[in-house]
Amino acid sequence: SAVISQKPSRDICQRGTSLTIQCQVDSQVTMMFWYRQQPGQSLTLIATANQGSEATYESGFVIDKFPISRPNLTFSTLTVSNMSPEDSSIYLCSVEDGTATSFNEQFFGPGTRLTVL
């Protein structure tokens, strides 16, 4: 199984600023995913980040608002740009276990709890 860490674990930010969230994996993985979980809600996929290619964004999410980097097979960042209180959420990264080629077992990080004032 993959072990995932995220930084920061939580932050309180002012509106109009940007925050970059880091996701580090202890093994090389091809596919990484970024999710958002708004208060009291389920997880919503923001984008899929594969190393060496542009991230693929889901409907309702755009690169200008959530730019993603994927410089290598163990690391990714998600930036929440020009934040507003509506961006207050938990942001989670996940990876697909490269050895589990027969099914969708994803491993999730602990999340970054963001509060925008």
Partner 1 sequence: DAKTTQPTSMDCAEGRAANLPCNHSTISGNEYVYWYRQIHSQGPQYIIHGLKNNETNEMASLIITEDRKSSTLILPHATLRDTAVYYCIVSPRPSTGANSKLTFGKGITLSVRP
Which residues of this chain interact with partner 1, rule CB under 8 A? 4, 31, 33, 35, 41-45, 48, 56, 58, 92, 94, 96, 101-111
Q: What Å distances lie between residue 69 and 49, 63, 66, 101, CA to CA?
A: 8, 11, 10, 24
CB of 43 to partner 1, least distance (A): 4
DSSP 58: P
Q: What Å distances lie between residue 49 and 34, 78, 104, 110, 114, CA to CA?
A: 8, 10, 16, 18, 21
Report the distance separating Cα 66 and Cα 43, nearest Å: 16
CB of 82 to partner 1, least distance (A): 26
Nearest CB to partner 1, comparing residues 54 and 105: 105
Nearest CB to partner 1, comparing residues 37 and 79: 37
Count Cα neighbours of 19 within 13 Å in the Cβ-side half-sphere: 23
Nearest CB to partner 1, comparing residues 14 and 101: 101
CB of 103 to partner 1, least distance (A): 5
CB of 100 to partner 1, least distance (A): 9
